[in-house]
Amino acid sequence: MNTRRENDGFSLDYLWRGLPGHPIHPPLTDVTIGTYTFAVVAATADVLGISTNAATHGWWLALVFALISTVVTAITGFADWLRIESGTPLWRTTTAHMIAMLLASAVFLAAVIVGKESFDAGDVEAAPYVLTIVGYLLLTLGGWLGGSVVFVHGMRVLNLVDEPARKAAAPVPTPEKREAEGE
């Protein structure tokens, strides 16, 4: 679905997919993964007795925030996934990435639900801690697969090696970037 208006070069796709060479999904993954990482660190600090109530509250609130950011991150990733030809190696890798991330999200959601009592008590209990670690392992697998999508398959990588720095960094969809992305 190309919704670009030919007269001004603007595409409504840019609002949810990002510009050519500057997709929206990857930077959102940084927010989500970083927040889940903080949750693991905070939960571990509580479990090891390094910190108590503050770490527990930070862990649970980080999981909640990460789940919210996961929704936006997943929507942008799904928008990219819809444009991939079904059955291709790229499609298989992105589908495995998506499945791993959905499983991680479900486990993190379970940690939030099961861990609400831990939040209230100010002490991370074993079950929500284990769920947090399992979720993080699934997140790591999904991140590895996501890296393969970009760095092995080259999805949304323009490869304009000789593009002048000013044009490469410009937040505008130049004709060269559009062509390289296949628009």
Is pLDDT of 7 > 80?
no
7 lies in a domain? no
Phi then psi dihedrals of residue 52, to 5 deg: -115, -110
Domain that holds residue 59: 16-181
* Cβ atoms of residues 121 and 111 within 8 Å: no
Residue 46, in any domain of the structure:
yes
Residue 25 has pLDDT above 80, yes or no: yes
The answer as to whether 162 is a domain residue is: yes
- Helix axis angle for 89-121 and 53-81, nearest 10°, is 160
Residue 113 included in any domain = yes
Q: How open is the CA angle 169-172-173, to the nearest 5 degrees?
A: 110
> Measuring CA to CA, how many Å separate 127 from each of 3, 8, 107, 112, 115?
48, 55, 11, 11, 8
Does 78 fall in a domain? yes
pLDDT number for residue 3: 43
Could you give the number of structural domains in the chain? 1
pLDDT, tens digit, 9 for 90 and up, residues 125-160: 999 999 999 999 999 999 999 999 999 998 888 888
pLDDT value for 17: 77
Domain assignment present for 27: yes
What is the spatial distance between Cα 162 and Cα 168, in angstroms, rounded to a whole number? Answer: 9
| pLDDT in the model for residue 93 | 98
In a domain, 11, yes or no: no
Residue 126 located in a structural domain: yes
Q: Which pLDDT band, with edges at 50, 70 and 90, does 21 fall under?
A: confident
